[in-house]
Structure 1
Amino acid sequence: MTETPATSALWPAPLADGAVRATVTVPGSKSVTNRALVLAALASEPGWVRRPLRSRDSQLMSDALRAMGVGIEETVSSSSAGSGTGQSGEAWRVIPGRLHGPATVDVGNAGTVMRFLPPVATLADGPVRFDGDPRSYERPLGQVISALRALGARIDDDGRGALPMTVHGGGALEGGTVEIDASNSSQFVSALLLSAPRFNQGVEVRHVGGNLPSMPHIRMTVEMLRAAGAQVDTPEAGGEKDVWRVAPCALLGRDLVVEPDLSNAQPFLAAAMITGGTVTIPDWPRRTTQPGDALREIFTEMGGSCELTDAGLVFSGTGRIHGIDVDLGEVGELTPGIAAVAALADSPSTLRGVAHLRLHETDRLAALTKEINELGGDVTETADGLHIRPRKLHGGIFHTYDDHRMATAGAVIGLATAGVEIENVATTAKTLPDFPKMWTDMLSGAGK
């Protein structure tokens, strides 16, 4: 966990002066957008990605694919503009091209870019250099590197098992069977599956480590592959436990509408919980593989209530928050927001199953413990999570460590705690552009 500079700008987190009543249109899912871009880039024909998330992570993905020879045209789609949903009418037309190097990929600190694109680069003709933010050098990548080597790739990482590195693409990859320990990130599995239809033999991925986190994200990858025409055998479909098989095939160009990012709806739902108000999130899907859908159950257990209507998800709070004992192993990205709400509850909470969060944008368990405690809280880091005993909080600086979910967690605490200042709130642009304006609009009832 590397603290960001003390000179970073401070944003006074607004204190709620009453019950929030607003409709908040959440931008598209980063997880869906970046998977869709990869699959469209590897397809045999052009496709559309409609209502994509425009954020730092998705821009890094599109810029990287362009650098390797993929055409991505950004337009306003007439079919979605005027849909009446309040969603963006933007659409990206993806035109597959001959993948090539030399190219340089800036991954920033985006896990999807640093993990999903090295397999793509093995299919390019020529070298592809991967580099990124300093934190990206510390994030786990060795399992993807070793797996690609076992499948026939040539990668120069100077023995680090991490960035920076160069993938020497040969225009194709043999593929086959590979063992991988994905207990640190489900993205290791998704990375290999997404490019597998283009491998000569496809791929058989065998997870051989401990508990596999964030399974909804793997299910998302599988569903999107199948929708693009791939044949995927999975444990859920009666296959072997922790084994996924993808057959080689030509992927179809799709016309995909990206769902709202349900995990990014979390701070707005939390605002309704904390203030005893009501927030509506338009276009909440009735069926989804997004981990954020678990918020309906988790926040209801913590004292809220919700209804899925034609207008979207309508979520209400009473102003009272109950503690929770919950395993977040499958939905770890929700931990910072849940921890922030739990710090304002009327009883203790235990958040379990999220040891892998130590390897995310920052060490999220250490960061949450430090920042909540410095506002007067009582948080103890456990082997695989957090134990939170609510106490009266006070104002102070809430550091974000260049982590978008730390910034939104601080804003949630600031609703009920005067004097909270968020350091580097601009880091929310990673997945949630214009968060400060969305937040103040929500509090004024103008979050349309």
Structure 2
Amino acid sequence: MTDAQHDSWQDPWPAPRASSPVDAIVSLPGSKSLTNRALVLAAIADGPSVVRRALRSRDTLLMAGALTALGSAVDTSGDDWTVTPGTFTDDATVDCGLAGTVMRFVPPIAGLSTGTVAFDGDPHMRKRPIGEILGALRGLGVDVPGDALPFTVRGSGSVRGGTVVVDASASSQFISALLLAGARYDEGVDVRHDGKPVPSLPHIDMTVAMLREHGVDVDDSEANRWRVAPGPIRAADHVIEPDLSNAAPFLALAAVSGGTVTVRDWPRSTTQAGDALRDILTTMGCEVAFTDEGLEVTGSGTLLGLDVDLHDVGELTPAVAALCALAEGPSHLRGIGHIRGHETDRLAALATELGGLGADVTEHPDGLSIAPAPLHGGVFHTYADHRMAHAGVIVGAAVEDVLVENIGTTGKTFPDFARFWSGLIPS
């Protein structure tokens, strides 16, 4: 959503209530995770690549801007983005905004530059964990002082690489960041995780799959170890799948309204974490099926409680928690302590905001327990977090007078979300 579009909406924004079943077929923007990985690999490949159906959002434009600052040419003028690798020779400044992928994926390739690259971002970004990656880069031969934003990478034109041990229990992006650049390092990389289980493993699987599409030799046969052999990164075009995590509020709309929502072009096989919505919604009482158009979800009018470990798909927690607050039975969401380090402390934020609307929420170190309780209207704060906004509109679809603060934050992964959402719910 542009600033002008955001300004046109009342803030806080009255979330439309679905007073009757919603029947809709929706086409979603592309995956942020796939788009940004494709951009990074294209920027350090051996020739030009095209990222087709790229997501155009704040996070992906920040990534394109970062890669352009380093020396690549990224043409974002159309639906398909062309990336032409360049020589990373000049000093540069990278704006990370609130994009974790920019803050974590770009420093390992900045080490290949012969210039000095300065990184900073939005104020909240300075609180998000990055020290593990910066320490790992120092161990691989990169000159990067400091352990938090703002920081500077002083490139020497090459990176030694080799073996490095990291604790990626706070974010799978710590692993992906090193793997994406590893083939360009003199010795490749041998990344070993030592710590509590790595969250969001599907995102690492996504990284490995995309590296192999670029001809990179990756060995992930051993648990908690990923080896990338040194060598060229072959140019390759990518067609970006719809963002399945962004599908959560739309499929939830079918669940809370007792209607039917189809998300077009849902892949039958994918590494995206959002694919877990199929099982989650089935467990909560919805009918879920593939059709010729995509994935169809039909709500029964009754939402069942849920007991689930979301460790590998933590980004779905806000939407799932909103559904659980509307369910007729108790729910327990576990294994998600790591999402305290996302755009905001999502567990604390969900407990506060759902509780503020009447939900019975107990916050645990690694999850939430939610018991049935009557909900009421009120202001749902988003903490500049697009997933929190998704939770707010889901509750608002079932409860009168829910006001979502800063709905414009959804532009992080879905430009003009508020207008699109309003168009689905009859006034």
**What is the TM-score normalised by the length of structure 2?**
0.97
Aligned partner letter, 1:309: T
- Counterpart CA distance in 1 for 2:75 and 2:317 is 36
- 1:419 — aligned with what? 401
- 2:320 — aligned with what? 338
Aligned partner letter, 2:158: A
- 1:229 — aligned with what? 215
- Counterpart CA distance in 2 for 1:31 and 1:101 is 27
- Counterpart CA distance in 1 for 2:75 and 2:93 is 20
Question: Aligned pair 1:193/2:195, yes or no?
Answer: no
For residues 73-122 of structure 1, give each alpha carbon's deviation from its aligned partner in whole angstroms, at most 9, with x where no partner exists.
Answer: 2354xxxxxxxxxxxxx100100010133100000011100000000100
For residues 364-387 of structure 1, give each alpha carbon's deviation from its aligned partner in whole angstroms, at most 9, with x where no partner exists.
Answer: 000000001111111010121000
Question: Aligned pair 1:207/2:204, yes or no?
Answer: no
- Counterpart CA distance in 1 for 2:318 and 2:247 is 13
Q: Is the 8 A contact 1:22 1:443 kept in 2?
A: no
Query: Aligned match of 2:154 in 168, 171, 181?
Result: 168
Q: Is the 8 A contact 2:111 2:158 kept in 1?
A: yes
- Counterpart CA distance in 2 for 1:309 and 1:101 is 51
- 1:83 — aligned with what? none
Q: Is the 8 A contact 1:294 1:331 kept in 2?
A: yes
Deviation at 1:240, TM superposition (A): 2.5
- Counterpart CA distance in 1 for 2:172 and 2:286 is 30
- Counterpart CA distance in 2 for 1:134 and 1:370 is 22
Runs of 4+ in 1 over 3 A off after TM superposition: none
In the alignment, structure 1 segments of 5+ residues that lack a partner are 1-7, 77-89
Q: Is the 8 A contact 2:305 2:327 kept in 1?
A: yes
Aligned partner letter, 2:25: T
Query: Aligned match of 1:397 in 376, 379, 383?
Result: 379
**What is the TM-score normalised by the length of structure 1?**
0.92
- Counterpart CA distance in 1 for 2:88 and 2:318 is 38
Q: Is the 8 A contact 2:305 2:330 kept in 1?
A: yes
- 2:37 — aligned with what? 35
Q: Is the 8 A contact 1:75 1:93 kept in 2?
A: no
Question: Aligned pair 1:117/2:106, yes or no?
Answer: yes
Question: Aligned pair 1:147/2:149, yes or no?
Answer: no
Q: Is the 8 A contact 1:47 1:95 kept in 2?
A: yes
In the alignment, structure 2 segments of 5+ residues that lack a partner are 1-9
Aligned pairs for 1:351-362 within 5 A: 351-362=333-344
- Counterpart CA distance in 1 for 2:426 and 2:232 is 50
- Counterpart CA distance in 2 for 1:333 and 1:255 is 27
- Counterpart CA distance in 1 for 2:380 and 2:14 is 10
Deviation at 1:156, TM superposition (A): 2.6
- 2:73 — aligned with what? 71
- 2:124 — aligned with what? 135
Q: Is the 8 A contact 2:18 2:426 kept in 1?
A: no
Q: Is the 8 A contact 2:17 2:425 kept in 1?
A: no
Aligned partner letter, 1:104: T
User: What is the count of residue pairs matched by the alignment?
Assistant: 418
- 1:57 — aligned with what? 59
- Counterpart CA distance in 1 for 2:294 and 2:426 is 20
Deviation at 1:356, TM superposition (A): 0.3
- 2:5 — aligned with what? none
Query: Aligned match of 2:288 in 303, 306, 317?
Result: 306
Deviation at 1:43, TM superposition (A): 0.2
- Counterpart CA distance in 2 for 1:351 and 1:100 is 47
Bigger Cα displacement from structure 2, 429-438 vs 176-185: 429-438
Identical-residue share of aligned pairs (%): 56
SS of aligned partner of 2:362? strand
SS of aligned partner of 2:115? strand
- 2:7 — aligned with what? none
- Counterpart CA distance in 2 for 1:125 and 1:315 is 51
- Counterpart CA distance in 2 for 1:388 and 1:294 is 20
- Counterpart CA distance in 1 for 2:62 and 2:75 is 15
Aligned partner letter, 2:353: E
Deviation at 1:306, TM superposition (A): 1.2
- Counterpart CA distance in 2 for 1:101 and 1:383 is 45
- Counterpart CA distance in 2 for 1:39 and 1:151 is 19
- 1:349 — aligned with what? 331
SS of aligned partner of 1:170? coil
Aligned pairs for 1:286-305 within 5 A: 286-305=268-287
Q: Is the 8 A contact 2:48 2:82 kept in 1?
A: yes
- 2:18 — aligned with what? 16
For residues 280-305 of structure 1, give each alpha carbon's deviation from its aligned partner in whole angstroms, at most 9, with x where no partner exists.
Answer: 10110010000000000001100111
Q: Is the 8 A contact 1:23 1:442 kept in 2?
A: no
- Counterpart CA distance in 1 for 2:202 and 2:276 is 10
- Counterpart CA distance in 2 for 1:97 and 1:311 is 40
- 2:418 — aligned with what? 436
- Counterpart CA distance in 1 for 2:74 and 2:366 is 41
Aligned partner letter, 1:33: T
Q: Is the 8 A contact 1:24 1:438 kept in 2?
A: no
SS of aligned partner of 1:198? coil
